Amino acid sequence: MDSKKGCLTRREFIKATAGLAIVGGAGLSLVGCQESQRTQAVRTRFRYAMCNESMQQLDWAEQCKIVSEAGFTGIEIAPFTLVKEDVRELTVERRKEMVRVMKGSGLQCAGLHWLLMPPPKGLHFSTPDAAVREKTVAYVNLLIDFCGDMGGKVMVFGSPKQRGTQGNTVAEAKKIFADGLVRVADHAQARKVRILIEPLDKTQTDVVNTTAEAVEIVKAINHPSIQTMFDFHNTKDETDDFVTLLKKYRTNIHHVHVMEMDGKYLGTGNAVNDFVPAFQYLKSVLYNEWVSLEVFDFTPGGKVIATESMKVLRQIEAKLT
């Protein structure tokens, strides 16, 4: 160590931190020497969360138990899995109890996803129907409060069926979509929540199919609480590979979803090899937000999905330099 500057040399730092992954902090960013000497050497892994919808038939405590025992430290919530009508059913007292159970299992809330999946029915964020849009914006504000109450920091805006054109042109739908995000941005910021536009391929929706489109909206809105994220599975319409996408848009990416490319749990495909370069890049830039497991085939059950996927995440980590 350079005693005059109180900072590890590059060679000393590389030796001290060889083989370590990432944990803690906020953002996809490079961290300077002042921070690195205090915390980088103790970072031992990525922050892994698991989405709860594969376990929606179980009670909340059992969901948390499965996620925690598999080795995840976060749980990502699909609100529709917890309610019969809408999120207002989850009273202040119920939310406090959920947080207590979650923390008792050693978990944090990574955030929300599937924001507008029913229940409730009839929501749509970019419809020409102004009354429906008003209702939907109001519900997103309720979800922001739920996310904040749970300690979540991000809300992944996928919901392909609730953001399509519905008779608008794509350009009109994008403008309406962006206008709605502007209306909820300040409330999200007040609750320390980011709303992340999730690019979805054209088989799912006709509004925002690529990361470039998502970032275009993010930049037009120019609000810290409106950003984007990266999902391996949703890159079918991209022309760039995983690493190139992450490099291009890293300053706007604040969450990562992971699954096999066909939507199944990790270990059923070739993610263990194909995703390594992307994880290597994330490690190189000290990515320190959530990597969250989301799958679409729930057949094996939550315990198998969680346990087998964590094995693969560990195998990917072991391949990183």
Give residue-wise pLDDT tens across range 199-215: 999 999 999 999 999 99
Backbone angles phi, psi at 19, to 5 degrees: 85, 0
Q: Are 207 and 170 in contact (CB under 8 A)?
A: yes
51 strand-pairing partners: 76
Give residue-wise pLDDT tens across range 157-186: 999 999 999 999 999 999 999 999 999 999
Backbone angles phi, psi at 282, to 5 degrees: -60, -40
4 pLDDT exceeds 60? no
Tokens of 130: 């102004």
- State the Cα–Cα distance between residues 49 and 283, nearest whole angstrom: 17
Q: What element of type H or E holds 157?
A: strand 154-157
Backbone angles phi, psi at 65, to 5 degrees: -60, -45
Secondary structure percentages of the chain, helix, strand, coil, to 5 = 45, 10, 40
Tokens of 308: 């087998």
Confidence of residue 13 (pLDDT cuts 50, 70, 90): very low
204 strand-pairing partners: none
Other Cβ atoms less than 10 A from the Cβ of 56: the count is: 13
226 strand-pairing partners: 195
140 pLDDT exceeds 50? yes
Q: Are 173 and 164 in contact (CB under 8 A)?
A: yes
303-317 per-residue burial string, b: 16 or more CB within 10 A, e: under 16: bebbbbbbebbeebb
- State the Cα–Cα distance between residues 301 and 200, nearest whole angstrom: 25
Sole residue written with tokens 């590890």: 8
Strands 290-293 and 47-51: parallel
Q: What pTM does this model have?
A: 0.87
- Give the pLDDT confidence score for residue 43 in this predicted structure: 45
Average pLDDT over residues 270-299: 98
33 pLDDT exceeds 60? no
Those residues whose C-beta lies under 8 Å from the C-beta of residue 117, and which sit 6 or more positions away, are 78, 79, 80, 159, 162
Give residue-wise pLDDT tens across range 67-85: 999 999 999 999 999 999 9
- Give the pLDDT confidence score for residue 28 in this predicted structure: 52
- Say whether 320 sits in a helix, a strand or coil: coil
- Give the pLDDT confidence score for residue 45 in this predicted structure: 78
Confidence of residue 27 (pLDDT cuts 50, 70, 90): very low
- State the Cα–Cα distance between residues 115 and 77, nearest whole angstrom: 9
Those residues whose C-beta lies under 8 Å from the C-beta of residue 5, and which sit 6 or more positions away, are none
Average pLDDT over residues 248-276: 98
- Say whether 187 sits in a helix, a strand or coil: helix
DSSP string computed for 287-302: --SEEEE--S--TT-H
Sole residue written with tokens 């489109």: 213
CATH of 25-318, one of 1.10.8.60, 3.20.20.140, 3.20.20.150, 3.40.190.10: 3.20.20.150
Q: Are 163 and 155 in contact (CB under 8 A)?
A: no
- Say whether 50 sits in a helix, a strand or coil: strand
